[in-house]
């Protein structure tokens, strides 16, 4: 008989020393697998990386470990930072989550809450399958993009420029 077991806890040091393929997140002692993007996810992630400007010392990174709290490390699909570190510990200027068909809103919401609690001023959630997006900004309530423009304090990109062809 095959019985499911609960994930075992590991230390943050052990997580930081371990290479996962694909990389995993770390939440309160538990290593969490991420949904790996394919097709539309990868297309959208690549377009976002190319469209976000690297100016004024800003860097645009895919799948970078971000230590959002003492015992939490998240991996946004894309983030914009001002200082490169092995593991980002200062709040990124922007974190972006690109949804995959297997993503569940409760997990996405937990990640977004971690980014906001860390001090990230803006989070974009882009769904390339449903062709929708949401902006979570510390200064305003979460909102679905209704005018076709992804916005933050520092960036503005037309949603149509990052979504895959229909």
In tens digits, the chain (166 residues) has pLDDT values of: 444 555 668 999 999 999 998 899 999 999 998 877 789 999 999 999 999 998 888 999 999 999 999 999 999 999 999 999 999 999 999 999 999 988 888 899 999 999 999 999 999 999 999 999 999 998 788 899 999 999 998 899 999 999 999 8
Q: Taking the model in full, what pTM does it have?
A: 0.91
Q: Where are the domains of the chain?
A: 35-161
Q: What is residue 7's predicted lDDT score, i.e. its pLDDT?
A: 61
Query: b/e for 23-48, b at 16 or more Cβ within 10 A?
Result: ebbbbeeebbebeebeebbbbbbbbb
φ, ψ at 82 (rounded to 5°): -110, -15
Q: What is residue 76's predicted lDDT score, i.e. its pLDDT?
A: 97
Q: What is residue 166's predicted lDDT score, i.e. its pLDDT?
A: 84
DSSP-derived 3-state class of residue 46: helix
- Which CATH number is associated with domain 35-161? 3.90.1570.10
């Amino acid at each position: 008989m095959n019985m499911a077991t609960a994930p075992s806890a590991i230390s943050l040091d052990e997580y930081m020393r371990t290479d996962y393929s694909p990389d995993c997140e770390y939440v309160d002692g538990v290593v969490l697998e991420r949904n790996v993007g394919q097709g539309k996810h990868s297309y959208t992630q690549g377009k976002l990386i190319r469209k976000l400007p690297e100016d004024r010392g800003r860097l645009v990174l895919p799948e970078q470990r971000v230590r959002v709290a003492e015992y939490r490390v998240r991996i946004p699909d894309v983030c914009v930072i001002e200082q490169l570190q092995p593991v980002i510990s200062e709040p990124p200027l922007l974190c972006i989550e690109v949804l995959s068909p297997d993503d569940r809103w409760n997990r996405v919401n937990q990640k977004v809450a971690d980014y906001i609690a860390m001090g990230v001023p803006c989070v974009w959630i882009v769904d390339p399958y449903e062709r929708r997006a949401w902006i979570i900004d510390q200064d305003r309530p979460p909102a679905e993009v209704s005018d076709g423009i992804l916005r933050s304090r520092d960036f503005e990109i037309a949603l149509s420029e990052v979504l895959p062809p229909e």
